[in-house]
Structure 1
Amino acid sequence: GYMATDNTAQLRADEERSSDILKRIPAGRWGEPADLGGTAVFLASKASDYLNGAVIPVDGGWLAR
């Protein structure tokens, strides 16, 4: 998903473009790098031992629209 990082600073600073992006994100906000933490912990834990070949979107609901 769209993350608030240095790489997206110009995009976020463009009010029109940023607004258009936020309208498509059900969570209504840019993701923060910390939002990836729960998924990373899950993937590093025994709870994911039987998980193979999956894509886990961390995108604030972007793909669910």
Structure 2
Amino acid sequence: MYYPQADVIPLVVDNLNIHTPSILYEFLSLRQARCIIQQLGFNYTPKHTSWLNQVEIELSVLPR
């Protein structure tokens, strides 16, 4: 861990389905994932402000 003295490391992520704490269990051991998840604070952006939604809106204009 890069910040062992930090109580919480805040993360600001969009609402994409891979931006959840459970994804860490796929790549790390159970012990490592739990240790990291306890230190992370997930802060999700509102769905209407997601950068991905903005890109999808722009791309939907192309076929019209």
The answer to whether the superposition gives a TM-score over 0.5 is no
TM-score by length of 2: 0.28
Q: Going by fraction, where is helix more abundant, 1 or 2? A: 1
Structure richer in strand, relative to its length: 2
TM-score for the superposition, normalised by structure 1:
0.28
